[in-house]
Amino acid sequence: MGPPLFPHVRELWLLSPRPCILVSDTKRHTNIRIGSKMATIESAIRKPKGGREQVSYRVRYRDPEHHQKSRTFKRKAEATRFATAVEHTIATGAYVDPRKGKITVAEYAPIWLRTKGKLRASSRARLEGVVRTQIIPAFGHRRLDQVSHEEVSEWVSDLQARRSEATARKALIALRQLYREAISARRIPFDPTEKC
């Protein structure tokens, strides 16, 4: 690559799993491009009265549904890392909107139960009972994206000690189905019930 046409613009090609990443840096904007997708990093300088200059970097991108999103960082390196990660997840089809996982387990359980279309009345009543008596007391107040694998494992062990093995297994199966539906709906990127 020869000298840049404009001295204030720097272009850098990096090798990656994708064909290339183009980073072009001007005094105010940085564009990161992977394939045909693009995330833009914009810098903003604020100077409060009597204070030092404060620089922030805002990453703007479009999700797979073409809605514009943004996130602000204090350091350019963090913004660049986030932009690259977002572009990679979008390109691989693994993108999950972080706001969709902020719903609690108690709020998502009725949504999930509505997806269980063809159940006999007795099966539906049993499933609703498991949700009401086992899942909601343990995880109802927690956001879907904040329940960890360790917490689920401890919950299952506690259920096995307090109740029967069959009760623990039914509760785990119901929680696993709830989380798999949440993953299918692209609310969360991982399943905390896996391998429990």
CA distance 48 to 169: 58
Its domain, for residue 118, covers: 100-184
In a domain? residue 163: yes
Tell me which of 66, 95, 124 is where a domain ends.
95
In a domain? residue 1: no
Cα radius of gyration rounded to whole Å, the chain = 23
Indicate whether 55 and 109 sit together in one domain: no
Task: Provide the pLDDT for residue 157.
Answer: 94
Buried b (16+ CB within 10 A) or exposed e, 172-194: bebbbbbbebbeeebbbeebbbe
In a domain? residue 191: no
Indicate whether 109 and 150 sit together in one domain: yes
Q: Which residues of the chain have pLDDT under 70?
A: 1-37
SS3 label, residue 149: helix
Tell me which of 95, 117, 145 is where a domain ends.
95
> How much helix, strand and coil, in percent to the nearest 5, is found in the chain?
45, 20, 35
Q: How many domains is the chain partitioned into structurally?
A: 2
Indicate whether 117 and 77 sit together in one domain: no
Indicate whether 52 and 123 sit together in one domain: no
Indicate whether 89 and 15 sit together in one domain: yes
Task: Provide the pLDDT for residue 139.
Answer: 95
Indicate whether 127 and 140 sit together in one domain: yes
CATH of the domain at 161: 1.10.150.130
Task: Provide the pLDDT for residue 32.
Answer: 52
In a domain? residue 156: yes
Tell me 63's DSSP state: -
